[in-house]
Amino acid sequence: MSPHLIRQLESGKKKLTNKTKVLEETVTQKPEAVNSTMNCAEAQKEKRDAYVKVRQKVGGILKGDTSIEELDLEQSGDINILQRFRLHAHFDNYHDLPDTTYIPHQIIFVEEDLREIVQEEISIKKWPNLARAEAQDRLHDLNVKYWCLAQKWSHYRSCLVRGVEKRGFELWRSHPKWYMHRVLVEECASRQGCCSRGCGCCLNRTIDPSRKLGVGHCTVECGCCRQARGFDIPEKEKKLLKTQFREDISKLPAHPIARVAFWGLVGDVYKSPFDMIDVPPSYEKAVQCNNLV
Please return the burial class of 219, using the count of CB atoms within 10 Å of its CB with bins 0-12, 13-18 and 19+: buried
**What pLDDT is stored for residue 65 in this prediction?**
81
For residue 88, with 0-12 CB atoms within 10 Å meaning exposed, 13-18 middle and 19 or more buried, which class applies?
A: exposed
CA distance 36 to 212: 19
Q: How far apart are alpha carbons 203 and 22 in whole angstroms?
A: 8
Plot region of 264 (φ>0 → left; ψ -120 to 50 → alpha; else → beta): left
Q: Is the dihedral of CA 145, 223, 243, 214 positive or negative?
A: negative
Total number of residues shown for the chain: 293
Residue 290 pLDDT: 36
279 torsion bin: left (phi>0), alpha (psi -120 to 50), beta (else)? beta
* Closest C-alpha among 169, 182, 9 to residue 79: 9
Kindly give, in sequence order, each residue whose CB lies less than 8 Å from that of residue 245, ignoring residues fewer than 6 positions away. Answer: none
- Confidence (pLDDT) at 33: 43
Per residue of the chain (293 residues), what is the pLDDT tens digit?
Answer: 665 566 656 665 555 555 444 444 444 444 444 444 446 667 777 777 776 777 666 766 677 788 889 989 998 989 999 999 999 999 887 665 555 678 999 999 999 999 999 999 999 988 777 777 888 999 999 999 999 999 999 999 999 877 899 999 999 999 999 999 999 999 999 999 999 988 889 998 889 899 999 999 999 999 999 999 999 999 999 999 999 999 999 999 899 999 999 999 999 999 999 999 986 555 544 433 433 33
- 181: β partners: 277
Inter-residue contact 10 to 34 (CB < 8 Å): yes
Q: Contact, 5 vs 147, CB < 8 A? A: no
Q: How far is it, in rounded angstroms, from Cα 134 to Cα 105?
A: 34
Separation CA 84–CA 265 (nearest Å): 7
